[in-house]
Amino acid sequence: GGADSDHAVPPGDMYSQDGDADEPEWVKTEREQFVEFRDKNRDGKMDKEETKDWILPSDYDHAEAEARHLVYESDQDKDGKLTREEIVDKSDLFVGSQATDFGEALVRHDEF
């Protein structure tokens, strides 16, 4: 029954370096990833640059890849430009796209 006092986790212990036998596998993996790859200067924290590299790895430009994909899929006359008609024709593609925040950008921009 009930939560007994010797299982209470004091604050700070959740992130202890030695790791716990009961620790979920993903926590172990995350900690290893953090130490190996994310915390590049090994100060125990992720600074702005380290966070940016984690979220948007510098070797892969998501926005550009997505934009190229959208143009490739929608540009029917293959002139490298999208007309309003081409966008409307493939609107489901744009609404489902991360590049347009799943269609949000289409609502915000007058040119669409």
Per-residue pLDDT tens for 4-39? 555 565 555 555 555 556 778 888 888 888 888 888
Reduced to 3 states, what is the DSSP secondary structure of residue 91? helix
Residue with the bigger pLDDT between 85 and 54: it is 85
| 3-state helix/strand/coil string of 25-66 | HHHHHHHHHHHHHHCCCCCCCCCHHHHHHHHCCCCCCHHHHH
What are the boundaries of each domain within the chain?
Answer: 25-60, 62-96
Q: CA 90, CA 70: separation in Å to the nearest integer?
A: 9
pLDDT band of residue 106 (cuts 50, 70, 90) is: low
- Taking 90 as the threshold, does the pLDDT of residue 79 lie above it? yes
Burial label, 50 (beta-carbon count in 10 A; 0-12, 13-18, 19+) = middle
* pLDDT > 90: percent of the chain: 13
CA angle 108, 63, 99 (to 5 degrees): 35
